[in-house]
Amino acid sequence: MIIVERGPAASQRRVAITGIGCITPIGSGREGLWTGLREGRSAVRRITRFDPQPFRSQLAAEIDRFDAADFMETKRARRLDRFGQFSLAAARMALDDAALDPAQIPADRVAVQMGSALGGIAYAEAQHDVYLAEGPAGVDPMLALTVFTGAASCNIAIEFGFTGPNSTNGMSCASGAIAVGQGFRLVRAGEADIALAGGVECPISPLSFGAFALIRAMSKRNDDPATASRPFDRDRDGFVMGEGAAVLVLEEWGHAVRRGARIYAELCGFGTTNDGYHMTAPRPDGTQSARAIELALADARSLSDEVEYVNAHASSTRLNDPTETKAIKTVLGARVRRVPVSGTKGYYGHPLGASGAVEAAISALAIERGWLPPTLNLRQPDPECDLDHVAGSGRETSVGLAISNSFGFGGINATLVFKAPA
């Protein structure tokens, strides 16, 4: 049994990232994700899961190689939809990566915090088709327990017996980052000593996909899928939907050090704001996005002059990319063009509520490994997005402090701050 000392005052508790579990279109697990980044190839293609012909956008980043039986008992897998399976698989990978045995951790000291924009909506859609064809008797009796967003964190807690604070937020494309931020706050405040925190999304089904196609938010570069997601490029025409999950193990620093854990990075700041402006369009001046970054840096007791890398939300939409650029400029000021900024959605599309968690994992690995992933498909930089975008290929460099931005429909802004272990 691991005995946890109740650490110092909340304001002094540090939070280490000791485990990373992920499922993405470019690779799963810590090394799968990293190898995919280093290879520099996009996973975007024409949709194969259903016929996308009725839609103006026909592209997505799908995950092909996933077998739930690799991560859970067959009976358990059968009782979960893809959304639930991804949640458990990413959590198990994160625990294994952190070398933590759930049976050896005080259950009430472990929090689970997840985020998802749409939860199990794709499975609900599929079950509606069953209902129309077979009537109520044909519907999966587990439907009510799989469709709600909170199933992500609840299934993880049930699987491992964790009884600490538990929630799944549904704050659109910032959900994963907010979940990581909430887990961070719980550990720092002493309400938990370990938090499993991240995001999950499985939205690639006709109704969910079609809803975003209807509002013309997604790229229609159907003849060239691999270059469809092109953050900060002059010719970008929308985001590309993706799917996936990522879970981080957040651990009280002293606890991690005492057990000899590998520490990827320190998570040291979180800030969130709302534009209060529009459901789909960001506030044009970027003031609230900038304030989220400023709040996160203040929370980390860090100055903007210390920022050495920005992992941008970089959704490849006409409005988001220049607005995020304005926010970054506001915060970094005169040194803005000396700070590398990259957007990684060109690799794996935009997995909505999972994206902030995936990009938190990437930020932590970039710090640990001293390599910044490039912004794929950036060929003609938009003059409104005039930053150092790490275009073309990745960059070998040490990073002492990084920030990761996540922005979502409804005007939600969230920023996380990471530091190299010291």
Indicate if 341 and 385 belong to the same structural domain. yes
Whole-number Å distance between alpha carbons of 246 and 348: 13
- Here the tokens at position 336 are 């803005």
Give yes or no: residues 250 and 362 share one domain. no
Are 28 and 122 found together in one domain? yes
In a domain? residue 215: yes
At residue 11, the pLDDT reads 56
Q: Please name the residue that has the structure tokens 């009537």.
A: 135
pLDDT tens string for the chain (422 positions)?
A: 333 343 344 457 999 999 999 999 999 999 999 999 999 999 999 999 999 999 999 999 999 999 999 999 999 999 999 999 999 999 999 999 999 999 999 999 999 999 999 999 999 999 999 999 999 999 999 999 999 999 999 999 999 999 999 999 999 999 999 999 999 999 999 999 999 999 999 999 999 999 999 999 999 999 999 999 999 999 999 999 999 999 999 999 999 999 999 999 999 999 999 999 999 999 999 999 999 999 999 999 999 999 999 999 999 999 999 999 999 999 999 999 999 999 999 999 999 999 999 999 999 999 999 999 999 999 999 999 999 999 989 999 999 999 999 999 999 999 999 999 99
Same domain (yes/no): 302, 249: no
Regarding whether 336 and 228 lie in a shared domain, the answer is no
Range of the domain at 399: 270-419
Task: Look at residues 211, 236, 258 and tell me which one is the last residue of a structural domain.
Answer: 258
Q: Which of these is catalytic: 255, 350, 385, 389?
A: 350
- Which position among 22, 202, 268, 313 bears the catalytic label? 313
Active-site residue 173, yes or no? Answer: yes
Report the distance separating Cα 362 and Cα 372, nearest Å. 9
Alpha carbons within 13 angstroms on the beta-carbon side of residue 230 total: 20
Q: Are residues 240 and 283 in the same domain?
A: no
Of the candidates 229, 258, 287, which is a domain's last residue?
258
Helices 175-188 and 355-369: angle between axes, nearest 10 degrees: 60
- What CATH number is associated with residue 233? 3.40.47.10
> What is the pLDDT at residue 12?
78
Residue 2 lies in a domain: no
Contact 359, 179 (CB under 8 A): no
Interatomic CA distance for residues 196 and 110, integer angstroms: 8
Domain count, the chain: 2
**Within-domain flag for 6:** no
> Does residue 86 sit within a domain?
yes
> Angle at Cα 185 formed by Cα 279 and Cα 404, nearest 5°?
55
**CA dist list (Å): 17 to 40, 251, 270:** 25, 6, 14
415 and 321 in a single domain? The answer is yes
Are residues 122 and 186 located together in one domain of the fold?
A: yes
Distance of CA 17 to the CA centre of its chain: 15
Question: Helices 82-97 and 121-134 sit at what angle, rounded to 10 degrees?
Answer: 150
Contact (Cβ atoms closer than 8 angstroms) between residue 176 and residue 182: no
Instruction: Please check whether residues 56 and 172 belong to one and the same domain.
Output: yes
Whether 128 is catalytic:
no
Q: What is the pLDDT of residue 39?
A: 97
Question: Is residue 263 assigned to a domain?
Answer: no
Q: Give the end of a domain, one of 209, 227, 258.
A: 258
Do 131 and 93 have their domain in common? yes
In a domain? residue 1:
no
CA–centroid distance for 175 within its chain: 8
Asked if the structure places residue 10 within a domain, the reply is: no
- Whether 301 and 374 map to the same domain: the answer is yes
Catalytic residue among 173, 202, 268, 385: 173
Q: Note whether 146 and 287 are same-domain residues.
A: no
